[in-house]
Amino acid sequence: MNENRTNGRKGAAILFIIFALLFFVLFARFLVIQITGKADGHSLKNEALQKYLRTDVLEATRGTIYDHRGTVIAEDTTSFTLAAILDSSMTTNPKKPKHVTDPERTAKVLAKYIDMEPDEIEKRLRNKQAFQVEFGKYGRDLPNRVKKKIEEEKLPGIIFLRDSKRFYPNGKFASHLIGFTQKVEEKKGNQVIQRTVGQMGIEKAYEKYLEGKNGKIQYKSDLWGYLLSDKKQMIQEPDDGDKIYLTIDTKIQTFMEDALNEVEKQYKPGKAFAIVADAKTGKILAMGQRPSFHPDTRVGLGENWSNDLVEYSFEPGSTMKIFTVAAAIEEGVFHPNELYKSGRYKVGTVSIRDHNGGEGWGDITYLEGVQRSSNVAMANLLEKMGPDVFRQYLDDFHFGQRTGIELPNEGKGTILYNWPIEQVTASFGQGTTVTAMQLIQAATAVANDGEMMRPYIIDRIIDDKTNKAVMENNPKKVGEPISKKTAEKTRDVLKSVTTSEHGTGQIYQIQGYEVAGKTGTAQMPNPNGGYLRGSSNHIFSFLGMAPAKDPQLIVYVAVAQPKLDGESGSVPVSKIFNPVMRNSLQYLNIKPQQTPAMKTIELKDFTNERIAEVEKELKAKKIKPVIVGTGSKVTGQSPEAQSFLLQGEKVILQTDGKATMPDMENWSLRDVMKAANLIGLKVSYAGEGYVASQNIKPGTPIKKGQKLILKLITQKEKSLLDQQEKEQQKKAAEQEIKEANEEKQQTDENQE
């Protein structure tokens, strides 16, 4: 018995000691945590803070791309998606409901702002299974002004999901130059973040300037994520992307896009590309190519990812003769009235032939040889200069070297000059390859009195916060391969190519302006070796400058493998060069020799001005006002203030009255989009060219979001329809006269 008691006491003592030790350990642990504020290496204070600290991203706006006059080419726009919360559990205070409480009233109000019937909206709002609903395409991409109007209605449960998208207001417009963006997902810790990243062109090359840096907002919240009453928050403002101003002129680029569209439609070339440059500075005012793509939808991108104007190296053909002639004049071996034997020229066992099968034109002057684009003339000039001398001129004109234009993947071409035959063919543009940008740079030496200017596309980059330039380009001379006197003589020779009876460039004459330039027809290499056969398997081109005496613009156009119907290859090239050069010279108010230049008008802000007065002012300046609405004051305009227009162009004026549909017959798609963007119409069209019909009748009241369906036809199709209509009217009139005569004859017979 005593032994059991003794054992019991021992056991109790042991248990007491064990529990005492456990209590001591727990107490010691508690003291350590209390004193250090840490458990298992984690700061408990920070853990608690993180539990109730919320961080939201403040998204930076991607930098805007402008033309050199400040017209937007690419920008981020904020759009909103309309949504409705249906779950009643979201409402904690019945006086301030957070869900839709009256579906019928909500539907009627929303129907005023989105293109859906009230019944259809109400049906969605009565979906008892859904926590939240959206309204499909009708509730997406809502502009800020519509969002504000809906918010003013104070509808419970109606919310807006904010989004930003890259917007290219001009559509298919210098697309390979500008590029496009795409949203990509990146993991940062446990978070998946979406970034907008440039994929090609300026958007990709200048990503570090355009992308911006997101900010953030941190705040303390309760268990459910609501901001606590003290409202303490820390905001780190986003750093928006920088503004990039290009040297591109939107108006000149539009001239080019229109001309490329026409040639693409009519001749379906394998490639077509063109550049307009300021002859004095090297600024690139326009550059475009076909095939191209729409940067918003990327339709057409699969056909060609390359910017052909800087990446594509090709044999230039006879446009290279410009620089052979310039070198020969500089070396004093070009005598325009000196005779030579045309037709053939022997290089070892190889015979160089003129383009008429080697028949030539007998003994002709070197000036006529240039006008006729004689290969033999160039071979003789090379012999007079010496191959080593001409090779130095190729270097002086910077062939075989990148121009350094601010665009990715620039090609440099190849000077093929190892053997005598290669040296001769290089003098007339065969074998050696160049880029279009190299030809433009070299041509500035001829146009600019011997001073060769570096081509550039970036005018300046402006910091979004400081509004100061972080990068600025100025005209830069990169060489002086020929003298001023040589440049003047070369231009005189090139002018005769377009004006003389033998000139291959007669088709490039422009009324009122003298054009100096040179045609080119280059064979296209066969991937299996040699050259492709067939009359269409060439690159047809023209490198021209105007006015010839003192060039202000240089335009290079090339069209590869056009589908010709008995026409020469110069025809599709001229259908790009001529309208682009003529319209650009007139737009820039460069004085012609004969015809008056079109005046450029800068628009002012007409907001709140009386319609009658604005109409009078615009008509006096020969601008066509188009009134949208029944009000008496201007509330909006397109184009915006400080835009430049040519005489005869349209300005769309929105009034404070009810919007009405204008008559768009014969409007260009560009003018249609001006009006549609201002009014808020959604445009769908079929065909190309000008408006032939519209689904909304002129004068009909319209509302934002309404769909406008158009049928477009070309001028050729319109002329054909007009002719058919005239013939029908003529037949109808003849039939009417015939019937009248028959009726009269019948009346006379009855009277007898």
Pull the structure tokens for residue 690.
């000008």
Pairing of strands 344-347, 350-353: antiparallel
Closest listed residue to residue 684, CA positions, set 674, 695, 698? 695
Hey, which bits of 157-202 come out as E strands? 158-167, 181-188, 191-198
d(CA 661, CA 88): 43
d(CA 63, CA 149): 28
Pull the structure tokens for residue 671.
């003018």
As annotated, the active-site residues are: 318
Pairing of strands 650-655, 38-39: unpaired
As a dihedral over the C-alpha atoms of residue 246, residue 250, residue 254, residue 257, rounded to 10 degrees, the angle is 10
Amino acid found at 490: T
Closest listed residue to residue 681, CA positions, set 668, 694, 691, 693? 694
Pull the structure tokens for residue 194.
């979406």
Q: How far is CA 72 from CA 65, 168, 225, 239, in A?
A: 6, 8, 40, 20
Residues, the chain, total? 752
**DSSP state letters, 9-72:** HHHHHHHHHHHHHHHHHHHHHHHHHHHH-EETTEEHHHHHHHHHEEEEEEPPPPPPEE-TTS-E
How many other CB atoms sit within 10 Å of the CB of residue 456?
A: 22
Backbone angles phi, psi at 410, to 5 degrees: -65, 130
Q: Burial letters for 95-108: b for 16+ Cβ neighbours within 10 Å, e otherwise?
A: eebbbbeebeebbe
Give the residue carrying structure tokens 């296209």.
524
Pairing of strands 707-713, 682-686: parallel
d(CA 446, CA 545): 9
188 has which bridge partners? 191
519 has which bridge partners? 542
Pull the structure tokens for residue 633.
């004051």
- The helix (H) or strand (E) run that includes residue 524 is none
Pull the structure tokens for residue 420.
């005598």
Q: Is 683 helix (H, G, I), strand (E, B) or coil?
A: strand
Q: Is 484 helix (H, G, I), strand (E, B) or coil?
A: helix
**Contact by Cβ (8 Å): 335, 366:** yes
Hey, which bits of 491-620 come out as E strands? 516-523, 538-546, 553-560, 600-602
Q: Is 510 helix (H, G, I), strand (E, B) or coil?
A: strand
